[in-house]
Amino acid sequence: MKNFIKLFLILALFFLTVAQSQSAEKVDYLKTDWSFKGLFGKFDRGSLQRGYQVYTEVCASCHSMKYLSYRNLGEKGGPEFSEAEVKAIAASFEVIDGPNADGEMFERPAKLSDKFVMPYENVKAAQAANGGAYPPDMSVLVKARGGGVDYIYSLLQGYEDAPNGMNLDEGVHYNKYMYGNKIRMSAPLSDDLIEYGDGTKATVEQMSKDVTTFLMWAAEPHLEARHQMGFKAIVYLIILTILVYFSMKKIWSRVESEV
């Protein structure tokens, strides 16, 4: 009996600690209207294309997207750049290929089938260039972080001066949405940092939303197809339910007449 009570107290203490920890870590993220949310959600093509621009001009110098190929930028359900635009985008990057007939590696313009060019040759080079921190790959970053798109969107806008009494190491910054509020990456966005090709005002809020939308597509490139399939499944189930209802009604009407 004593052992049972002791075990019960230990388990109760454990679950209480977990609950307090989760409560302490709960953060109210910034909210915005995501076009891809909900059963009928679709990606905003303009936002996806602008988000790719933000990634290329701001994020790509440190963060890789190793699971994406340049041809993905022209596929249905994504940014849907034209074929000419995708080829031009790919050709603007150099990739290392080979060996050639002389056994040497060489550089060439990227093709549609090539993966996005990596900013660093390897993990050690990335860490050395970033004070020991490794910039995470952004291909599935939205899915890898609790809070998803709301977390990424908020993090990009969460840089503030550290509260009084909080000491930060050199090269560390305060971000109210970061786990532990300490982050090595300096604020990557500032108003008018880039110039959007479609004339959209490049505010921090707008750029945060656009690049987060792009990252959501990268993590779930078939989201629109999945939404369409879900809608069709619901319609099918509704029709099937109606047919079953009338069939059962007809069957039971015969039974009642025989009685």
Distances (CA, A) of 49 to 34, 103, 151: 15, 39, 21
Give helix 148-155 / helix 204-219 axis angle, nearest 10°.
150
Distances (CA, A) of 144 to 12, 62, 149, 196, 255: 30, 18, 10, 28, 57
pLDDT digits (tens, 9 = 90+) for 203-232: 999 999 999 999 999 999 988 877 666 656
pLDDT of residue 240: 75
- Tell me what the mean pLDDT of segment 245-254 comes to: 75
pLDDT of residue 243: 77
Scored b (16 or more CB within 10 A) or e, 34-61 reads bbbeeeeeebbeebbbbbbbbbbebbbe
Region of poorest pLDDT, from 196-210, 222-236, 237-251: 222-236
Residue 58 has pLDDT above 80, yes or no: yes
pLDDT of residue 35: 96
pLDDT of residue 1: 55
- Tell me what the mean pLDDT of segment 224-242 comes to: 74
Region of poorest pLDDT, from 86-90, 183-187, 191-195, 242-246: 242-246
pLDDT of residue 105: 92
Mean residue pLDDT across the chain: 87
H-run or E-run covering 106 = strand 106-109
pLDDT digits (tens, 9 = 90+) for 36-55: 998 889 999 999 999 999 99
Residue 40, C-beta contacts closer than 8 angstroms, at least 6 positions apart: 227, 231
Q: Write down the residue that tokens 């209480």 correspond to.
A: 16
